[in-house]
Chains A and B, each alone.
Chain A
Amino acid sequence: MRIAKRMKDRQPQWEELERLCDAMELRGRTDKALGGSYSGAEGIQRFASLYRSACADLALADAYQLPPATVAYLHRLVARAHNQLYRANRVDFRSWIDVLFVEAPKRIFADPCVRVSAIVFFGLFCLSMYLAFHEQQFPGYAEAMAGQSALEQAEDSFEQPLNASLGHYIVMSGFYIQHNTGIGLRCFAWGILIIPCLYVLASNAIQLGAVFGYMARSETASGDHFFQFVTAHGPFELTAIALSAAAGLRLGIGLFYTSGLSRIDSVRVNASRAVPIMGASAMLFVLAAFTEGFLSPSPAPYVFKAFWAILSSGLISFYFVILGFHDQPTSDVPSGKAKEDWDAA
């Protein structure tokens, strides 16, 4: 058969496929294409069979001796139809629950990055708090680290006993979600470059520690109110910061510690491992924001807030240890049959 004739035969089908693609791109359905002659399952069937025949044409383009311009056209047509046939899956919230409550704790439990970032964060936090508390030995430390104005502002804002209206609570929890989770996400993103992530983590630890130490001094007037405020949401918030940095570090470590993979693949695998940790961190940020918005500024008795802090610490421990504990360390290399496939590939 002559090429011209063959192309003439195939052309109507290619054009039909194009029209179906148009309809799919606009509405994700084939209903309106071709005067409604195909709809629903029939349309998909028609689309798939046209796509397969276009694929076959492309595969045989060389044997058919199609002109290069036509081959280029077919490449685009197949690519376009491929994009419509294999569409992105909508975000499945059930799978995210799985990620948050099954995958994330296991990753956190097994990941050395979490330990490193927790040690860096809580270590620097405690050190900074100690240095800021003992004014005699380390004069001017708190002022140098947190800044004079920030300390004064903190002192002023906790002058009055905690008491706020419902409206205030709602606004503040909204603000904390937006602001603090934003910091966490940013810390995570910087992680791929490692140093900015460590910088953000350390500077947060040192500044927070300095403020805490300053407030804990006996001569600071509003110290009691301050600790009443921070007790309830502290466990959630501080853990969330450390976790987001840990997820970030996991990203960055992949660049250096490739464990036999190529560098790019290693970054990819490690990034995929970091996502559940980041998800857990975001969840903790949101929980912290609600606590910080509603419970922390309320005039509720301190016992209740302390109880909440203990409860939240217990929940976090349960999440990390009980949900996270498993016999063998999780790795991205699947076991058994799948592992053989992985090795073969």
Chain B
Amino acid sequence: MTSIRALDTTIEVITPENISFDYQLAGPFRRLPAYLIDIVSRWCLIVLFVLPLYLSSLFFDIFTMRNLVTLPFFVAVTLLVYFVISWFYGTLMETYFNGRTIGKWITGIRVIEVDGRPITGRSALLRNLLRIADLAPMYAISNVAEGVPPIYMIPTGMVGLGTMMLTRRMQRLGDLAAGTMFVIDEKRWRIPVETVDDARVPALATYLPADLRISRSMARTLAVYVDRRGAMAPTRRREIARHLIDPILEKVGFRPEIDPDLMMYTLYYHAFLRTEVAVSDTQDQVDLGVLRGHSPLRTSSVVCKHDNDAMPVERSSHVKSEPSDIDPAKSLQVKSREERP
């Protein structure tokens, strides 16, 4: 649709069903905690495997009254377990748990192929082996601390961080080679249900002409506006809404003093929430509330006594004090206008 891609961290994936949907990409700030958790859980796993082995070898030696028969086996198996887990923890986890390790599961991210398919064994192997290169260059602790043997090195991860910044999908070198990317795997996401809590809105909506068409772009604008309006002060809402609302007021024949924010909300209600019921029913169901007796219509023959009060900008509920001069004939006139084809 638009030729300019949105400047954010989503990536479009086209499924085999020929549907394109957006994935939220995960950047370094989500991936680092996952990696740190993985380091810890890797060591926990090694201990978890080795401890029962050690105990069973100990018991075996005690029961058979022999000294250290099984110890060599134990040491060899320990070395093998250490080797397999420290090198292939990520590979095995990602292939068995659909692109997730323990750290990724906790931080809610998942690794998939760049085309949206699940990760394959080969890609998982590559990206996990190449982590070493991504953690480069090593920084020797002995540079800053005296007396530390030069074997202790801290990986700075500059290579990985650099490539992550330079690539569109935020991939490190290993991801580039394996053709994988990280996506955020949101677990809970409730369906947003907008409800209108303002009693004036349904009432005002009944005055809108029934044939009022809301264009797609207008509908999108309305939804975004209603989504964001809670974060804005009333004066700001009015300022923003005015630009859009003024021509519409003209079009639907409402009086220009109507609060633009309220009008936006009403249009939103009209576009998204109003159920398809006969207008006459609506008139019965909707409690006109504060609007009772006031018509927002400019050209309507219903002439309001308190013109300036008709659609007060911020109106409190002083309904009772309003003169309730509903004339059946006048409401009919309003209806007839609404039932216009």
Interface residues of chain A, those whose CB is within 8 Å of chain B, are 1-5, 7, 11, 14-15, 25, 52, 55-56, 58-59, 62, 65, 67-70, 72-80, 82-84, 86-92, 95-96, 166-168, 170-171, 173-175, 177-178, 181-182, 185-186, 188-193, 196, 251, 254, 264, 267-268, 270-272, 275, 278
Q: Are A80's CB and B186's CB within 8 A? A: yes
A-B contact pairs, 6 of them (CB 8 A): A56-B19, A69-B192, A70-B192, A74-B21, A91-B96, A193-B133
Say whether A173 contacts B76, CB under 8 Å.
yes
Nearest residue in B to A167 (C-beta to C-beta)?
B72
Question: Which of B13, B112, B177, B223 lies at the interface centre, i.e. has the most chain A CB atoms within 10 A of its CB?
Answer: B177
Q: In the bound complex, do residue A70 and residue B122 qualify as a contact, i.e. CB atoms below 8 Å apart? A: no
Contact A267 B176 (CB under 8 A): yes
- B98–A167 contact, CB under 8 A? no
With A88-B98, A188-B129 as contacts: A178 and B177 at CB distance below 8 Å: no
Q: Are A86 and B73 in contact (CB under 8 A)?
A: no
Contact of A189 with B132 at beta-carbon distance under 8 Å, contacts A83-B118, A89-B118 already known? yes
Q: How many A-B residue pairs have CB under 8 A?
A: 191
Whether A89 pairs with B79 at a CB distance below 8 angstroms is no
Q: Are B17 and A55 in contact (CB under 8 A)?
A: yes
* Minimum distance in angstroms from A198 CB to a CB of chain B: 13
Q: Is the CB of A192 within 8 A of B173?
A: yes
How many interface residues does B have (CB within 8 Å)?
76
| Contact between B21 and A88, CB atoms less than 8 A apart | no
Q: Are A82 and B116 in contact (CB under 8 A)?
A: yes
A88 to chain B, nearest CB (A): 4
A79–B183 CB distance below 8 A: yes
Q: Contacts A73-B189, A89-B121 hold; do A271 and B177 have CB atoms under 8 A apart?
A: yes
Q: Does B283 sit at the interface, judged by CB under 8 A?
A: no
Say whether, besides A70-B191, A267-B176, A91 and B22 are in contact (CB < 8 Å). Answer: no
| Whole-angstrom distance between the Cβ of B49 and the nearest chain A Cβ | 14
Decide if A90 touches B72 in the complex (CB within 8 Å): no
8 Å CB contact of B133 from A55, A62, A189: A189
The 3 closest A-B pairs by CB, nearest first: A167-B72, A174-B76, A271-B177
Q: Which chain B residues lie closer than 8 Å to A166 at the CB level? A: 72
> B220-253 CB contact bits vs A (8 Å, 1 = yes)?
1001100100000000000000000000000000
Contact B23 A79 (CB under 8 A): yes
> Is B120 on the interface with A (CB-CB < 8 A)?
yes
